[in-house]
């Protein structure tokens, strides 16, 4: 026997959807997935509110996701909302609209729970020996997890993400040398982080879209640079000089998502400047896998 559940992660940049087929033995397989760059956090820093047009677009996307999942026989629709919904004064209005017009059950989760779900979804990737820093750079926040010998020893959520940083620092696209100001702003916001201080010359693992996109761009002729701690800064400069439309076409993502990618790279560079990693890796987000684990454990 198996059960199919639909999941959505309402991030500050992107709404990520998937359908998981869960077996009785606890194993599961992703059988459908889609993402839409809604950028719920666009302008949020200045206004304190989610733009009504973007809120409506989010509901439209969730309605589409629901219809898509129902084709697979899904009757359980679970979702999390992160930084944008935590911060927005009108966040409850959006949640009410979702509840009225769709079957999605959306929870606004804390940054600490974001980190916990990330770890739940990715812990199997880490070896039993060594120091690692796992960082998920989102649109509105970044979760940092210090890992030693396969065990999580500390975690935190920082109010810095690629969308927020881009809105604050960039005045044009492509941003060019403005990425230097983005790196400096990121370093200021991350200064004194107890989690970054927990690990010594760790392996740096970037999870989620920012990490996997940066790794993909390291293989693009326009920005080609080794995906290593040494090559990361040059890669950032290369991306910052590219027209977002070209980056979007290469990665198969929305132009709005490509516009904020240099800011995500700037956060990664700032973190590397602080922890001096010995290696650099990228992995997919662990959030939705973590959500499946929570649901399977009955703790949702």
pLDDT of residue 298: 86
Report the SS3 class of residue 157.
Answer: strand
Beta bridge partners of 146: 133, 154
Rounded-to-integer distance, Cα 186 and Cα 167, Å: 13
Q: Supply angle C-alpha 143, 118, 211, rounded to 5.
A: 65
Half-sphere CA count of 24, side-chain side, radius 13 A: 1
- Mean pLDDT for 251-268 is 97
- Mean pLDDT for 258-279 is 98
Judged against a pLDDT cut of 90, whether residue 72 lies above it is answered with yes
Fold of 125-283: Nucleotidyltransferase; domain 5 (3.30.420)
- Mean pLDDT for 277-284 is 98
Render 231-242 in DSSP notation, one character per residue: THHHHHHHHHTS
Tokens of 57: 């677009």
Tokens of 236: 């950032």
Burial class (CB in 10 A: 0-12, 13-18, 19+), 77: buried
Judged against a pLDDT cut of 90, whether residue 265 lies above it is answered with yes
Cβ(257)–Cβ(216) under 8 Å?
A: no
Judged against a pLDDT cut of 90, whether residue 24 lies above it is answered with no
> What percent of the chain is predicted at pLDDT more than 90?
95
Distances (CA, A) of 153 to 146, 197, 298: 6, 12, 25
Q: Is the alpha carbon torsion for 169, 58, 49, 9 positive or negative?
A: negative
CB-based contacts of 248, cutoff 8 Å, min separation 6: 254, 255, 257, 258
Answer CATH for 2-109 from 3.30.420.40, 3.90.1150.10, 3.40.50.10800, 3.40.50.720: 3.30.420.40
- For residue range 112-145, what is the model confidence (pLDDT) as tens digits? 999 999 999 999 999 999 999 999 999 999 999 9
Average pLDDT of the chain to the nearest whole number: 96
Q: Where are the alpha helices (DSSP H) in the chain?
A: 44-47, 52-70, 83-87, 91-101, 111-122, 162-169, 178-190, 209-217, 232-240, 244-251, 255-275, 287-297
C-beta atoms surrounding 38 within 10 Å? 30
- Mean pLDDT for 67-74 is 98
Residue ranges per structural domain of the chain: 2-109, 125-283
Judged against a pLDDT cut of 90, whether residue 25 lies above it is answered with no
CB-based contacts of 110, cutoff 8 Å, min separation 6: 86, 157
């Amino acid at each position: 026997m198996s059960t199919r559940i639909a999941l959505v992660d309402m991030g500050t940049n992107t709404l990520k959807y998937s359908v998981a087929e869960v077996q009785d033995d606890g194993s599961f397989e992703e059988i459908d997935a889609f993402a839409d760059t809604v950028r719920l956090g666009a302008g949020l820093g200045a206004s304190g509110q989610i733009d009504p047009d973007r809120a409506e677009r989010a509901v439209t996307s969730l309605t589409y996701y629901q219809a898509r999942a129902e084709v697979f026989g899904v009757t359980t629709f679970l979702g999390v909302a992160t930084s944008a919904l935590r911060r927005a004064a009108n966040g409850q209005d959006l949640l009410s609209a979702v509840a009225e017009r769709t079957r999605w059950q959306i929870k606004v989760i804390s940054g600490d729970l974001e980190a916990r779900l990330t770890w739940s979804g990715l812990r199997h990737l880490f070896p039993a020996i060594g120091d690692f820093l796992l960082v998920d750079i989102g649109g509105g926040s970044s979760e940092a997890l210090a890992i030693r010998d396969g065990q999580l020893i500390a975690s935190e959520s920082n109010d810095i993400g690629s969308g927020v940083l881009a809105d604050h620092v960039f005045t044009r696209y492509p941003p060019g040398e403005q990425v230097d100001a983005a790196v400096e702003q990121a370093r200021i916001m991350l200064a004194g982080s107890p989690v970054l201080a927990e690990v010594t010359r760790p392996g740096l693992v970037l999870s989620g879209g920012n990490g996997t996109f940066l790794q993909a761009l390291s293989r693009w002729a326009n920005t080609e640079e080794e995906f290593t701690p040494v090559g990361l800064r040059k890669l950032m400069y290369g991306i910052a000089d590219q027209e977002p439309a070209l980056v979007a076409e290469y990665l198969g993502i929305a132009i709005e998502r490509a516009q904020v990618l240099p800011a995500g790279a700037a956060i990664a560079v700032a973190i590397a400047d602080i922890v001096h990693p010995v290696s650099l890796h990228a992995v997919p987000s662990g959030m939705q896998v973590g959500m499946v684990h929570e649901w399977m454990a009955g703790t949702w």
